[in-house]
Chains A and B, each alone.
Chain A
Amino acid sequence: MDCKKYLLLLVFYVVAKATPAQTITTLEGLKAKIAAVLVSGDNLPETKFNTIENMILNEPGIYNDLWGRVNNTFRNKSDQFLLKNLKIDFKTFQGNDSNKTSLGFSYKWNYEINKKKNTDYQRSEFLAKITAEGNVAFKKNLNPLDFQSAKLDIGTSGFLGGTVNKLDAALTADMNKINQQLAAIEDEDELANSPLWNDITKAMAIKNQYHYNFSATGGWEGKQDFSTSQLTYGAQLRFSAKAYSDKNPLAQLNILDYPFALIRYITGTDKSINPYGAALPIVTMGIDMVNPTKDSVRTAITGNEKQFTRFRFEAGFRTLLASINKTTMHFNAAYRYFSELNAASAIRLAKLNSFSYFTCSVTAADTYFFSYSYGKLPFDRTDNAVYELGFKFNL
Chain B
Amino acid sequence: MAIWTSNNLACVNLWSTLYIMKQHKKTFKKAEKLKMKELLFFNPLLTEDELKFEAAGIADFLDIVFKNTYGGKYEDGIDKAKAVNHLVDTLIEGDKTMADLAAAVDDDYNF
Q: Which residues of A contact B (CB under 8 A)?
A: 87, 108, 110, 114, 116, 118-120, 123, 125, 129, 131, 133, 153, 157, 159, 162-167, 169, 172-173, 175-176, 179-180, 182-188, 191-192, 197, 200-201, 203-204, 206, 209, 211, 213, 238, 240, 242, 244, 269, 276-279, 282, 284, 314, 316-320, 323, 328, 330, 332-334, 359-361, 363, 365
- A238 to B61: give the CA distance in the assembly, Å: 18
A-B contact pairs, 21 of them (CB 8 A): A129-B49, A133-B47, A133-B48, A153-B49, A157-B56, A164-B69, A172-B71, A176-B70, A179-B9, A183-B16, A185-B27, A185-B28, A191-B27, A211-B53, A240-B54, A282-B53, A316-B46, A332-B45, A334-B43, A360-B45, A361-B45
A162 contacts across to B, CB distance below 8 A? 57, 60-61, 64
Which of B7, B13, B28, B53 is A238 in contact with, Cβ under 8 Å?
Answer: B53
Tell me whether B20 and A197 are in contact (CB under 8 A).
yes
- A241 to B, closest residue via Cβ: B57
Tell me whether A330 and B45 are in contact (CB under 8 A).
no
- B26 to A, closest residue via Cβ: A188
- Min CB–CB distance A192 → chain B (angstroms): 7
- B58 to A, closest residue via Cβ: A242
- Min CB–CB distance B38 → chain A (angstroms): 5
Q: Given A332-B45, A361-B44 in contact, is the A164-B71 Cβ separation under 8 Å? A: no
Tell me whether A180 and B40 are in contact (CB under 8 A).
no
Tell me whether A211 and B69 are in contact (CB under 8 A).
no
A201 contacts across to B, CB distance below 8 A? 20
Q: Which residues of B contact A (CB under 8 A)?
A: 6-7, 9, 12-13, 15-16, 19-30, 35, 37-38, 40-50, 53-54, 56-57, 60-61, 64-65, 67-71, 79-81, 84-85, 111
- Min CB–CB distance A327 → chain B (angstroms): 11
- A169 to B53: give the CA distance in the assembly, Å: 33
Q: What would 6 more interface pairs be, CB under 8 Å, given A157-B53, A278-B21?
A: A164-B68, A172-B71, A175-B70, A179-B15, A211-B60, A361-B45
A163 contacts across to B, CB distance below 8 A? 64, 68
5 closest cross-chain pairs (CB), A and B: A183-B28, A172-B71, A318-B43, A116-B81, A334-B45
- B71 to A, closest residue via Cβ: A172
Tell me whether B57 and A240 are in contact (CB under 8 A).
yes
Which of B37, B44, B53 is A240 in contact with, Cβ under 8 Å?
Answer: B53
Q: Given A200-B16, A318-B43 in contact, is the A166-B27 Cβ separation under 8 Å? A: no
Tell me whether B65 and A188 are in contact (CB under 8 A).
no
- Min CB–CB distance A141 → chain B (angstroms): 25
- Min CB–CB distance A112 → chain B (angstroms): 9
Tell me whether A123 and B111 are in contact (CB under 8 A).
no
B64 contacts across to A, CB distance below 8 A? 120, 162-164
Q: Given A240-B57, A282-B53, A363-B44 in contact, is the A188-B25 Cβ separation under 8 Å? A: yes
Tell me whether B16 and A110 are in contact (CB under 8 A).
no
A110 contacts across to B, CB distance below 8 A? 48-49
- A233 to B18: give the CA distance in the assembly, Å: 38
Which of B9, B15, B42, B85 is A176 in contact with, Cβ under 8 Å?
Answer: B9
- B16 to A, closest residue via Cβ: A179
- A108 to B9: give the CA distance in the assembly, Å: 36
Tell me whether A320 and B27 are in contact (CB under 8 A).
no
Tell me whether A284 and B57 are in contact (CB under 8 A).
no
- A109 to B, closest residue via Cβ: B48
Tell me whether B25 and A192 are in contact (CB under 8 A).
yes
Tell me whether B80 and A118 are in contact (CB under 8 A).
yes
Tell me whether B16 and A282 are in contact (CB under 8 A).
no
B23 contacts across to A, CB distance below 8 A? 278
B15 contacts across to A, CB distance below 8 A? 179, 183
Tell me whether A244 and B22 are in contact (CB under 8 A).
yes
Q: Given A123-B60, A162-B61, A282-B53 in contact, is the A330-B40 Cβ separation under 8 Å? A: yes
Q: Given A162-B57, A211-B57, A328-B38 in contact, is the A182-B71 Cβ separation under 8 Å? A: no
A180 contacts across to B, CB distance below 8 A? 6-7, 12
Which of B24, B30, B68, B80 is A166 in contact with, Cβ under 8 Å?
Answer: B68
Tell me whether A359 and B45 are in contact (CB under 8 A).
yes
B70 contacts across to A, CB distance below 8 A? 172, 175-176, 179
